[in-house]
Amino acid sequence: MSTFWARRRVFVTGCTGLLGSWLSDRLIREGADVVGLVRDWVPQSNFFRLGLPDRMTLVRGDLVDYAVLERALSEYEIEAVFHTAAQTIVPIANKTPLPTFESNIKGTWNMLEAARRHPAVRRMVFSSSDKSYGTHEKLPYDETAELRACHPYDVSKACGDMLAVTYHRTYALPVAVSRCANLFGGGDLNFNRIVPGTIRSALLGERPIIRSDGTLVRDYFFVQDAVDGLLTLAQALDRPELHGEAFNFSSHHRRSVVEITQEILAAAGRPDLEPVIRNEATAEIPKQYLSSDKARRVLGWESRHTLADGLVETVQWYRDYLEGSKRAAAGSPVASGA
């Protein structure tokens, strides 16, 4: 921990999500005055388990409502913005692309425009995705790779990348782009994703479901290391030469879906459970993983967790979560806290 964020006024979109909730918690622990944008109220989320509603200022609204964003930055005299909010579920984007485009593209240009109009904003990080790169034969992807997104979610994130660069080059906005590998960690309540879904199945003694054919290869990146990456990048934006730049963040934990499933089952103490492979997934990139050499070289950033360490912490979060849900269903009080 450092004193950099002490008393700084920070705006976090997506503060109820996986990355945003842990980022908000960390900023508060480091002394920042955090203001968060909240659309939906999800009492079982990590946002509540961390006690964040009582530790930060909340602005109710939606990214697509520009007036809400401008009011928040103005009234709370925001100095730094972390834009992590997005519709992140790929199957939903494929089935109903318009809400994804609204949130991820319009929401991003709204946030950039609001930041542009408030000169007090001295640093902004847009949280993009490795999906912006689309499909390339050369692996791992580095920041010189073209953005070749072609499916709805991927395109929505690539558009956000280009909008961020536009606002830097046209208006000198001090913004940078983070592209993280597949995030995992406690607090992801989308159980259709491989990590939380497999953990829940293991803890309930059920066979986990693999919706693809199991051969897709991805980077798996612990959320606490992603928080470190975003904070490191934001702090580095005192260096004007980094404005408009993109940075990959990954721990280089590359696994096929079958391999990560087996490692999750081992971390949960249920290696005996045999996955059910449904082979239903469509519009997926076969292999995708990142090089973080630029972040290490330019920012001095290094991930702190092994894959095994991250999975153990994540399994424990879901163990506590499921036990708390059982107590709540039985009418017993549920403990909460960081």
- CATH number, domain containing residue 152: 3.40.50.720
Which pLDDT score is estimated for 283? 74
Q: Is 153 within the bounds of a domain?
A: yes
The burial of 195, by beta-carbon neighbours within 10 Å (0-12 exposed, 13-18 middle, 19 or more buried), is given as buried
Residue 134: CA atoms inside 13 Å, Cβ hemisphere, count?
14
Please state the rounded mean pLDDT for residues 80-84.
98
DSSP 92-112: HHHH-HHHHHIIIIIHHHHHH
- Whether 281 is in a domain gets the answer no
Q: Please, what is the angle between helix 257-267 and helix 307-329, to 10°?
A: 60
Does a structural domain hold residue 205?
Answer: no
| Under 8 Å between Cβ of 174 and 9 | no
Assess if residue 109 is contained within a domain.
Answer: yes
Does the annotation mark 318 as catalytic? no
Sequence-distant (≥ 6) Cβ neighbours of residue 88 within 8 angstroms:
17, 153, 190
Catalytic residue among 66, 141, 153, 318: 153
Asked if the structure places residue 258 within a domain, the reply is: no
Residue numbers of the domain that contains 148: 9-187+220-253+286-305
274: in domain: no
For the chain, what is the domain count? 1
pLDDT of 257: 96
**Per-residue pLDDT at 44:** 87
Q: Phi and psi of 255, rounded to 5°?
A: -145, 150
* Digit-coded pLDDT (tens) for 165-193: 999 999 999 999 999 999 999 999 999 89
Work out the pLDDT band at 320, boundaries 50, 70, 90: very high
CB-CB contact of 34 with 10 (8 Å): yes
Q: How far is the CA of 235 from the CAs of 4, 175, 228, in angstroms?
A: 8, 11, 11
Residue 159 lies in a domain: yes
Q: What is the pTM of this model?
A: 0.93
Does some domain include residue 264?
no
